[in-house]
Copies of this chain bind each other. A is one copy, B any other.
Amino acid sequence: MTEDDFLSRYDPSEFAPLALTVDIVLMGLREGRPTVLLLRRDAHPFQDRWALPGGFVAEREGLDEAAGRVLRDKARIESAHLEQLYTFGAPERDPRMRIVSVAYLALLNERAFGEALLGNPALLPATLEVPWAGEQGGPVSAVARGEALPLAFDHAAILAGAVLRLRGKLDYSPVGFAFLPAEFTLRQLQDVHEAISGRALNKPAFRRRMLDKGWIRPTGTREAGTSFRPAELFRFDPASKGD
Contacts and interface: CB of A to CB of B under 8 A. Distances in A.
Interface residues of A, number: 48
Nearest to A62: B90
Contact of A62 (B14, B39, B89, B243): B89
A158 to B, nearest CB: 13
Interface stretch (A17-25, A180-188, A208-216): A17-25
A5, A6, A89, A102: residue with the most chain B Cβ atoms closer than 10 Å: A89
Identical chains in the assembly: 2
A1 B42 contact: yes
A2 B241 contact: no
27 contacts: A1-B41, A1-B42, A1-B74, A5-B42, A6-B43, A8-B56, A11-B58, A12-B59, A13-B19, A13-B58, A14-B17, A14-B19, A14-B56, A18-B19, A18-B20, A20-B89, A20-B100, A57-B89, A59-B91, A59-B98, A61-B91, A62-B90, A63-B87, A63-B89, A84-B87, A87-B102, A89-B102
A13 B21 CA distance: 10
A86 B84 CA distance: 8
A242 interface: yes
Contacts of A227: none
Interface string A53-68: 0011111111100000
A96 B9 contact: yes
A16 interface: yes
Top-9 shortest CB links A-B: A2-B42, A63-B89, A16-B59, A87-B87, A14-B19, A60-B91, A13-B58, A13-B59, A62-B90
Contacts of A55: 8
A58 to B, nearest CB: 5
Given A1-B41, A5-B43, A13-B58, 9 more contacts: A2-B42, A8-B55, A11-B58, A14-B17, A18-B18, A62-B91, A63-B100, A87-B87, A135-B241
